[in-house]
Amino acid sequence: MIDGYLRCCGHTAALLLALCLAALPARGQVRIKDIADVEGVRDNQLVGYGLVVGLAGTGDKLDSAVFTRQSLIGMLERLGVNTRDQEAKLQTKNVAAVMVTANLPAFVRSGSRIDIAVSALGDAKDLTGGTLLVTPLLAADGEVYAVAQGAIATGAIAARGANASVNRGVPTSGRIANGATVEKEVGYLLANKTALRLGLRNPDLTTARRMAAAINAALGANAARATDPRTVAVDLAGRDTIETLARIEDLRVQPDSAAVVVIDEASGTIVMGANVRVSTVAIAQGNLTIRVTETAEVSQPGPFSGGTTTTVGRTNIQVEDSADKKLGILSGNVTLRDLVANLNALGVGPRDMITILQSIKAAGALQAELQVR
């Protein structure tokens, strides 16, 4: 009886463990919504020209920024203030002309609020503390889709003195959270679609095939097919579009990627993909460093010698040829982890590692695409 009880408990524990493991996502798998977009569901860029007022003397110089002067005069005239006769006397430095940009999200409705970015157009020094006046935002079709207004937050610090100045951040660019009100919607009837296409953010034929297979396993055979490395076509005929898309977005696949090594020479950054492989190659790294140091020494003559005190230069030259560096061998078809470990064992820095990777590629031993930026 006790043996039967123990066997029963063992089967129950094994079943619970299996259920828990099944509930966890497989290693390396991601949701389709994180690697693909629905074709046609996209943001739209908006842009507008406006004026910022309320600056503490850090705005445009009206003598040089002609567009700011004309915009200021036009705005005052619309408000019933005639300044044409006194145009030459307009010397305020509290106004700046700016460009306003925003992204209009998909399915946003009239009356919704969106964030905007404000950037100085003239020679303004700082937009901190300014207020953007009513600015229409236009799309590529020339129609007004939103109207922006509000106080600008730059998050920058700018302090100036007679002989020094300190700047942190970019004071001529800022943002206004929820600074624009949507006035016009971009129509897109997603619920009426009988067929859709999913676009991969990183095109790959293997990933597209795996996506199609996962969708077919969930919806039935022939529901999806990969048409190219970027696109997976989905047949929604006879299905509820929104419910089906919700199911597809939550499906998990393991994305594949090409073997790529990306090098940013400006910052010394190296990024290598998981599929990078190196054939058998020998590496020796060493730099010739010549260090020249100039030291001024004072030459003091002896008493009653009639000489004068003078400064004599001393030159010290040191040559380092990295003679202690050894020749290292990387065995064939090493993995990314082995490659990094072997390069680190050579005692080289990121800059030298960039040169080594370029040389390995030139030798034909780096089985990956090398992208230098």
Question: Which residues, including other chains, have CB under 8 Å from residue 97's CB and lie 6 or more apart?
Answer: 49, 50, 51, 52, 60, 65, 67, 68, 71, 120, 121, 122, 124
Identify the residue whose tokens are 């460009």.
99
Pairwise CA distance, residues 254 & 129, whole Å: 48
pLDDT tens for residues 186-236?
Answer: 888 888 888 999 999 999 999 999 999 999 999 888 899 999 999 999 998
Confidence of residue 13 (pLDDT cuts 50, 70, 90): very low
β-sheet bridge partners, residue 182: 146
What DSSP string describes 338-349?
HHHHHHHHTT--
* CB-based burial, 61-97: b 16+ in 10 Å, e otherwise: ebeebeebbebbbebeeeeeeeeeeeeeeeebebbbb
Pairwise CA distance, residues 271 & 264, whole Å: 9
Confidence of residue 9 (pLDDT cuts 50, 70, 90): very low
Highest mean pLDDT pick, 208-212, 287-291, 303-307: 208-212
Is it the case that residue 15 has pLDDT exceeding 80?
no
Please indicate whether residue 39 or residue 17 has the higher confidence score (pLDDT): 39
* Mean of per-residue pLDDT scores for the chain: 80
Pairwise CA distance, residues 196 & 207, whole Å: 18
Supply the pLDDT for residue 103.
96
pLDDT tens for residues 324-364?
Answer: 555 555 555 666 667 667 667 766 677 777 787 888 788 88
Contact 351, 268 (CB under 8 A): yes
Q: Pick from 354, 369, 367: which is nearest to 281 by CA?
A: 367
β-sheet bridge partners, residue 114: 180
Confidence of residue 2 (pLDDT cuts 50, 70, 90): very low
Q: 3-state SS of the chain: helix, strand, coil percent to 5? A: 25, 35, 40
Pairwise CA distance, residues 17 & 11, whole Å: 10
β-sheet bridge partners, residue 242: none
- Percentage of the chain exceeding pLDDT 90: 36
Q: Please tell me the pTM assigned to this model.
A: 0.67
Residue 35 CB-half CA count within 13 A: 25
Confidence of residue 20 (pLDDT cuts 50, 70, 90): very low
Highest mean pLDDT pick, 137-141, 273-277, 317-321, 324-328: 137-141
pLDDT tens for residues 136-158?
Answer: 999 999 999 999 999 999 988 76
Please indicate whether residue 96 or residue 282 has the higher confidence score (pLDDT): 96
Pairwise CA distance, residues 366 & 315, whole Å: 45
Map out the domains of the chain with their CATH numbers.
44-182 (no CATH), 189-253 (3.30.1360), 260-287+323-372 (no CATH)
Pairwise CA distance, residues 343 & 262, whole Å: 16
Mean pLDDT of 90-106: 92
